Amino acid sequence: MSFKDVYTKEVVPKLQQEFAYDNVNAVPQLTKITLNIGLGKVMGDARYLETAEQTVQRITGQKPVRTLARKSIAAFKVREGNVVGLKVTLRGKRMWDFLEKLIKVTFPRIRDFRGLEAKKGFDGRGNYALGFKEHIAFPEIRSDEIEVIHGLQVNASTTARTNKEAQALLTHLGFPFQDDNKTSKS
């Protein structure tokens, strides 16, 4: 069963019951997943840029788009038009395939992973963002062939109106959120 089928057959009825939606179309759904990489200090290095592009393409199965600086900022040594990052927007089948891989394979591969922090990632409009410090958590990346480790940001956009609805949607899809009662740091 595909991950989209899991959403329509299992998650939608649970959310309908939990939030008392009258209409199936009122149930929040995932609209897109966006991956971003900021180049930062290695902005001028063409080899690093190409390596990062290949990495994102292997992770998502889609060629990334280069993001350009809109303004020149002398303090950061950025000129207008310089490549400052890479991004990929996933929708449809690729989005569901990536989400399944993220939940079932990538999260379990992260060292010392204790769950996602719900309080930090939501934006108030039902979207969730999480960052990876190392891209080697993804199964397509073999640790023996990488030269430079970089981070990446994953944003899940939903049609949920509140953080509570979005968290319920992502939890039912399988996102491993930390229990609020157990998050005390000792």
Per-residue pLDDT band for 153 (boundaries 50, 70, 90) equals confident
Predicted structure pTM score: 0.82
Per-residue model confidence (pLDDT) at position 159: 92
Put residue 135 in one of left, alpha, beta given phi > 0 → left and psi -120 to 50 → alpha.
Answer: alpha
pLDDT tens for 25-56 read 889 999 999 998 887 766 666 777 787 788 88
β-partners of residue 153 are 36, 131
Per domain, the residue ranges of the chain are 28-47+54-174
What are the pLDDT digits (tens) for 8-19? 898 899 988 888
Please state which of the four CATH numbers 3.40.50.300, 2.120.10.60, 3.40.50.20, 3.30.1440.10 is assigned to the domain occupying 28-47+54-174: 3.30.1440.10
Could you give the angle at the alpha carbon of 20 between the alpha carbons of 16 and 24, nearest 5°?
Answer: 40
pLDDT band per the 50, 70, 90 thresholds, residue 145: low
Residue 182 has pLDDT above 60, yes or no: no
**DSSP assignments along the chain, one per residue:** --HHHHIIIIIHHHHHHHHT-SSGGGS--EEEEEEEEE-GGGTT-HHHHHHHHHHHHHHHSSPPEEEE-SS-BGGGTB-TT-EEEEEEEE-HHHHHHHHHHIIIIIHHHSTT---B-HHHHB-SSS-EEEEES-GGGSTT--GGG-SS---EEEEEEES-SSHHHHHHHHHHHT--BPPGGG----
